[in-house]
Amino acid sequence: MQRRDFVKLGSVLAAAPYGAFVAHAQNDLAPSVDFLNDGLLLSPKEYAALLMKLADEGKVKPDFYSNGGVVEELEHKFAQLLGKESSVFMPTGTLANHMAIRRLTGNNQRVIVQEQSHIYNDTGDAAQVLSGLNLIPLGLNSVGFSIAEVEQVLAKTKGGRVEAHIGAMSIETPVRRQQDRIIPFDKLQAMTDFAKTNDIKTHLDGARLFVQSVHENVEPKRYGALFDTVFTSMWKCFNASSGAILAGDKAFTEKLFHERRMFGGGLPASWAFAAVALHYADGFIDEYKTAWANAEKFFASIEESEKCKIVKLENGSHNVQLDVLGTNLTKFKESLAKRSVQLTNPNATGFMLKVNPSINRIKPANLADSFVESMKEAAV
């Protein structure tokens, strides 16, 4: 691809946060819609073109070991969006969560977490091995846990022969291992109020918080106000190829970059992540609102077919189940792929669809037509 083509593509990408009719590199003839990701999965071509466009506009200011430049601009932006005094860029959400509970606990190294949480299941016991923390999982196979469960832990901890205290409580919402179901705002408020009463610090693992914000019509900063610290992902909704923001008060974030570097997270240059995330920061909520409205129209259209049924999850967010009758599901998926619509692998009755702003690239009626035609091709 010639540089002029990069610039042309970059202009399209940068013109609007999400709404541009962008074709993926592997298919330049049709817009692609995927039901797999939280945000837009930019191709290498798209990502490079956007960076070039932003650089030409003077919006890519270099950082030095993840300090200053566009990284600092990103930190200021998300501190405001999350309603916190300050924030620090982290290369991954795993590190952001770890840094949060490590600093919050102080000398009280017991941490209450969800049994279904990322922290408990997906970090290889990092909190225990690297920081000596004692994770206490609650809510077996559930979205969250109850205040009654926490009270039992507190009673047992206080009644031990060796005095101990709960240092922190971490809550993930939406919960990835539960199809991105959410813990509603009122329950979060009750839980954090209880924690404050019992002198327990609180952390919000809000990797997909901005999706929940739309479904509950609650601003992200209102969630942030409930917790001592909050993390949100830069790649899930904001299309950076990696990155996370960890926000709290100034006392929490002061010199946190030293611990970040101690754990190998002080990347020499993070501008390629920060510039893209900053570009999309203000646009996601409005674009996702449009996406969900378009999804609802699409759902209504395909349910006109007797073969299709949309099943919404209790306390769900952007995931819905599409049941498809009388259809070879594998052939159906392959047929849609030829029409630039990407699905996950089928389950017993159909597919789990994850709504994201890529759905804004095509009219809901046209998307429904693609599904209907693919069902005809895959009929059994």
CA angle 218, 219, 222 (to 5 degrees): 90
Tokens 């790649």 — which residue? 235
pLDDT for the residue numbered 158: 86
* Separation between Cα atoms, residue 72 and residue 74, nearest integer Å: 5
Query: Residue 163: pLDDT above 50?
Result: yes
Query: Residue 14: pLDDT above 60?
Result: no
Work out the average pLDDT over 203-208: 98
The neighbour count for residue 202, using CB atoms within 10 Å, is 23
DSSP string, 253-287: HTTHHHHHHHTT---S--HHHHHHHHHHHTTHHHH
The neighbour count for residue 15, using CB atoms within 10 Å, is 10
Q: How confident is the model at residue 2 (pLDDT cuts 50, 70, 90)?
A: very low
Q: How confident is the model at residue 177 (pLDDT cuts 50, 70, 90)?
A: very high
pLDDT for the residue numbered 30: 54
Burial 40-59 (b: 16+ CB within 10 A, else e): bbbbebbbbbbbbbbeeeeb
DSSP string, 229-240: EEEEESSTTT--
pLDDT in tens, 237-265: 999 999 999 999 999 999 999 999 999 99
Q: What is the pTM of this model?
A: 0.92
Q: How far is CA 319 from the centre of its chain?
A: 13
pLDDT in tens, 52-80: 999 999 999 999 999 999 999 999 999 99
Complete domains list, the chain, with CATH:
3-55+283-377 (3.90.1150.10), 69-281 (3.40.640.10)
* 357 CB-contact burial (10 Å; exposed 0-12 / middle 13-18 / buried 19+): buried
The CB-side HSE value for 43 (13 A sphere, CA atoms) comes to: 17
pLDDT for the residue numbered 199: 96
pLDDT for the residue numbered 159: 85
